[in-house]
Structures are given as C-alpha cells and as structure tokens.
Structure 1
Amino acid sequence: MNPIQHAPALSAYLAADEVIDHHHPLVREAAERLGSGTADAYTYASDAFTYVRDTIPHSMDVGDPRVTWRASDVLAERTGICYAKAHALTALLRAAGIHAGLCYQRLTAGDGTGLVVHGLVAVRLPAWDRWIRQDPRGNVGGIDARFSAGAERPAWVARPELDEMDYPEVYAAPHPTVLRALRSYRDGAELGRNLPSAL
C-alpha cells in the first residue's frame, strides 16, 4: 500500500460529526459493551473491528436494499456497504479515544467492468507511530481481511497494472464523493449501479 498522508492535527481524528456520530447513544452503548473487561486499546480496537466485520453484514453481500451512511444508523439497522461499515468502525474507535480516519482504494468492480472506490479505516493506536489500514467490509467468498498491528490485511490488494490504487490520504470525515453517493440513491441496487469510480 502507498504511504499514508494525514491532516496535521491528530485531534481531527477523534471528532464527532453528522456521519461519525460517536456521541450518539447507540454508538456509546456499543462502545461500552465492547470495552467492558478490555484492558487495553489494542484489544478494544481489534474487538470493535471484528464486531463490525462479522456482525454487520455487507448489504450487497446479502441483498439488503437499505442504504445506511450514518454510523449510528449502521449499528441500528445492522447493514451497510463498505463505506458505511467504515463509518461505524471509525465511530466506535473514536468513542474509545482511539484515533481513526477513513481511507480508500480504487479497485476493479466485482463484475470486472470498470473501477469502484472501496472504503477502509485507518487506525493509529497510542503505541503505534503510524496509521495502519483495516478493512471491516466482511469476509465472504474467500476474503480474509483481519485486524493487524503489522502488515496490513485488507480484503484486496491494489494492482497498479489494472489501474487500481490505494489513495494515500487518511480523511477525518468521509470523502464528499462517497457521502454524496450514499445519500443520493434510494436503494442498494441503485447505489450499486452508481458507485464512485474515483475520488
């Protein structure tokens, strides 16, 4: 993956907003549940990742027509595409005081026609001196994304020869192109036909 770039103020990666609404009672409740009995930030972050990856289905994997984009809605509805699941994980991490941001890849579409933007989360734990990307989209069909403190373990590795890439930026808020797509389409099928192809 490409070197990661981020905004100079780390405090931006703890902020709450309309999308990463970690002040919402549903997010706080989930964070408290995940954190009960957890002694350290790494364990909490790993547990939060597993929770989002494994208990919130990727809506396109299961044919769920609902489109979620706000972190609290992802947790309440228990569905979302990669961007939405990344919003939920980012909110859960920030709720525990862990720096987290959003990052993206450009990958070949699942049907092999064209390119689509894929959403991930970048995490920076207190003991780490760098951002490490995590991919909570969900493991189906042979995907084996895992939480990692070392080598990144995303669902897919970008292949430059196919014009795929890892965008190097870590965003404190969702990229406007991604958020516009999530908020513009009435159901998952329409969203799936109109996923962003680039940032």
Structure 2
Amino acid sequence: MSPVPSPTSVRLSDYLVSDAVVDHEHPSIRAQADRFRAAGDDPVARAEAAFRFVRDEVDHVIDAGDLRVTWRASDVLRERVGICHAKAHLLAALLRAQGIPAGFCYQELSALHGLNGVHLRGKWVRLDARGNRTGARGEFSLDEEKLAWPVDPARGERDHPEIHPAPAAVVVDFLMRAEPGPGWYEKGLPATL
C-alpha cells in the first residue's frame, strides 16, 4: 500500500515559490506552461499535459545515455534532458507557473529517487515523471498512485511520503557539483535524505 502523501508545510503558497532551482518566472518556463492552457480551464487536464510533456518529451539521462547534467528547471527544459530529480524540478516549475501547487518527494531505491507531490482537487497526490523506459511505469493518476518504481522493503527500500516545498539540499548540491561525463550520476548521488 502506498503511503499517504503529507506536505511538510500547511501553506499552499510555499508550493508555488519560484527560486534558483524551480525558476518558473523564466520566460521559457512561462511560455511552455502557457501551452498547457490549451488543455482548458481544468487544472487536472493542464497538470496531466505538463506531466506527459516532462515524462515523454524530456529524456532521462540514463535511458538516453546522455552525458549532460541539468538541475535548474529552465535548463532542463532547454536541454530536454535530466535525471529524475531534474525532471521533478521541471514539472514543479511548469505546474507552479500555472498556479498549481507542487513539491518534492523521495524514494530510497538503489539511490535516492525524486518525484513530485501535486495538490489537485483538494488533495495531494504523488506523480513520477521519470520516464517510462527501462521498466519504469509512471502514470498520471489522481485515484491510484502509479509511480515509476515500486518500493521493495525486503531490499531495504523505502518511501518518503513527505512533500517538501523545495528540493532536498543534498540533491541540489550533488547536481550543482556533478561533472558531465559517462556515469556522472553514479559518482555520489545521495542514497538518503
């Protein structure tokens, strides 16, 4: 059974902030977010369009064999590539640019995996736009959690149901220091928060 997502802040406004990582005030983020408004006035339809864009149109570095490192949402959008954390930064920015509260969640798998918590229809849900190659199965759903990877407690894996307004500092620090090249994500990606 999936854990119940729980925000670490009671203020929805904390999940709409623009900063150096989730730079949703950037013109490219605003322009891309405006494209999702074509889905109509329903925030769920716009959120699903943003989710599918990040999941399907932005490559995961491992799946693509890409050597680049991205971490700022606008850079992930420009380069169209990122590790799970970078893709979560972009999805949060695209949603926040539309006034949809979005935060950050984590799973401890073989390394720390990043995904999003999103507030839609009066409740928090977790969404994982990692990308559906190499066995991942992340889907957009408000009714049933459909994350890219199931957690296996027997292997020592665990879910962190907390939804943070900002990305974890250990993740951002790692991404900012990472040097592009083969297997860069294997050189210090945090295993835990």
TM bracket (short chain)? over 0.9
**Which residue in 1 is equivalent to 2:184?**
190
- 1:37 is displaced (CA, Å) by 4.5
**Which residue in 2 is equivalent to 1:119?**
114
Aligned equivalent of 2:127, options 124, 128, 134: 134
**Which residue in 2 is equivalent to 1:157?**
150
- 1:167 is displaced (CA, Å) by 0.8
**Which residue in 2 is equivalent to 1:89?**
91
| TM-score, normalised relative to structure 1 | 0.92
**Which residue in 2 is equivalent to 1:13?**
15
Letter of the structure 2 residue corresponding to residue 94 of structure 1? R
In 2, Cα distance between the equivalents of 1:66 and 1:9? 35
In 2, Cα distance between the equivalents of 1:72 and 1:160? 35
Letter of the structure 2 residue corresponding to residue 46 of structure 1? E
Aligned equivalent of 1:174, options 159, 167, 172: 167
Q: Which runs of 5+ in 1 are unaligned?
A: 110-115
Moved segments of 4+, more than 6 Å: none
**Which residue in 2 is equivalent to 1:63?**
65
Q: Which runs of 5+ in 2 are unaligned?
A: none
Is the 8 Å Cα contact of residues 39 and 46 (structure 2) preserved in structure 1?
no
Is the 8 Å Cα contact of residues 5 and 126 (structure 2) preserved in structure 1?
no
- 1:169 is displaced (CA, Å) by 1.4
Q: Deviations over 1:108-157 (max 9, x none)?
A: x3xxxxxx1000011111x23x2111000100123221000111100111
Is the 8 Å Cα contact of residues 4 and 168 (structure 1) preserved in structure 2?
yes
Secondary structure of the 2:139 match is coil
- In the alignment of these two chains, the number of paired residues is 190
Aligned equivalent of 2:28, options 19, 26, 32: 26
- 1:8 is displaced (CA, Å) by 1.7
**Which residue in 1 is equivalent to 2:55?**
53
Letter of the structure 1 residue corresponding to residue 93 of structure 2? A
- What fraction of aligned residue pairs are identical, expressed as a percent? 46
Is the 8 Å Cα contact of residues 60 and 81 (structure 1) preserved in structure 2?
yes
In 2, Cα distance between the equivalents of 1:37 and 1:46? 9
Secondary structure of the 1:93 match is helix
